[in-house]
């Protein structure tokens, strides 16, 4: 009698099932890590605009100087899509009545996988002139 080497169908099915279970648990965790690392794009752009707006405030005593502040001019023209992969759009808003001394920058996800980053509202990051970053768990 000749001995046949190989795997039985049951052994192959068990292996496939184990790999499937491991993949089902690992994939969501992997995607969360990808979304978390992609947030760096929004954070970088928000801090860059905040620094440029602070320079305008130092030089011209206002954040919303349309003539002398290129950062404000860029944001006021509409939505600015982040450099890199373009996962976010950045907008600027002001507190009513305090347009010259306040701003609130918002980076909102516009492209997948960041649009699915809804846990704790991390698909929308904000940075205020006072340095307040929201939502805190996303920073």
pLDDT in tens, 31-85: 999 999 999 999 999 999 999 999 999 999 999 888 899 999 999 888 789 988 9
For residue 137, the surrounding DSSP H or E stretch is none
Pull the structure tokens for residue 47: 């801090």
Q: Residue 97: pLDDT above 90?
A: no
Distance of alpha carbon 78 from alpha carbon 92, whole angstroms: 9
Residue 39: what pLDDT?
93
Q: Residue 4: pLDDT above 80?
A: no
17-26 pLDDT, tens digit per residue, is 999 999 999 9
Distance of alpha carbon 120 from alpha carbon 3, whole angstroms: 59
Decide: helix, strand or coil at residue 124: strand
Decide: 42 and 139 in contact? Cβ < 8 Å: no
Residue 106: what pLDDT?
95
Distance of alpha carbon 84 from alpha carbon 38, whole angstroms: 10
**DSSP state letters, 83-117:** STT--EEEEEE--TT-TTT--EEEEEE-STTGGG-
Pull the structure tokens for residue 85: 């992969």
Residue 65: what pLDDT?
87
In CATH terms, 10-138 corresponds, of 3.40.50.300, 3.30.700.10, 2.40.50.700, 3.20.20.210, to 3.30.700.10
Residue 2: what pLDDT?
76
Give every CB contact of residue 2 below 8 A, 6+ residues apart in sequence: none
Q: Residue 1: pLDDT above 80?
A: no
Q: Residue 95: pLDDT above 90?
A: no
Reported as a pLDDT band with limits 50, 70 and 90, residue 137 is very high
Mean pLDDT, rounded, for 89-118: 90
Give the rounded percent of residues in the chain with a pLDDT score beyond 90.
71
Distance of alpha carbon 50 from alpha carbon 131, whole angstroms: 9
């Amino acid at each position: 009698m000749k001995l046949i080497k190989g795997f039985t169908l049951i052994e192959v099915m068990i292996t496939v099932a184990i790999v499937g279970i491991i993949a089902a648990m690992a994939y969501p965790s992997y995607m969360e890590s990808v979304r978390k690392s992609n947030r760096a794009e929004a954070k970088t752009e928000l801090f860059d605009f905040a620094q440029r707006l602070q320079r305008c405030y130092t030089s011209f005593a206002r954040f919303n100087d349309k003539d002398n502040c290129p950062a404000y001019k860029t944001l006021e023209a509409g939505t600015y899509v982040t450099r890199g992969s373009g996962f976010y759009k950045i907008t600027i808003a002001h507190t009513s009545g305090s347009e010259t001394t306040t701003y609130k920058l918002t980076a909102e996800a516009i492209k997948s996988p960041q649009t699915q980053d809804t846990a704790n509202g991390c698909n929308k990051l904000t940075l205020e002139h006072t340095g307040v970053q929201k939502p805190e768990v996303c920073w």
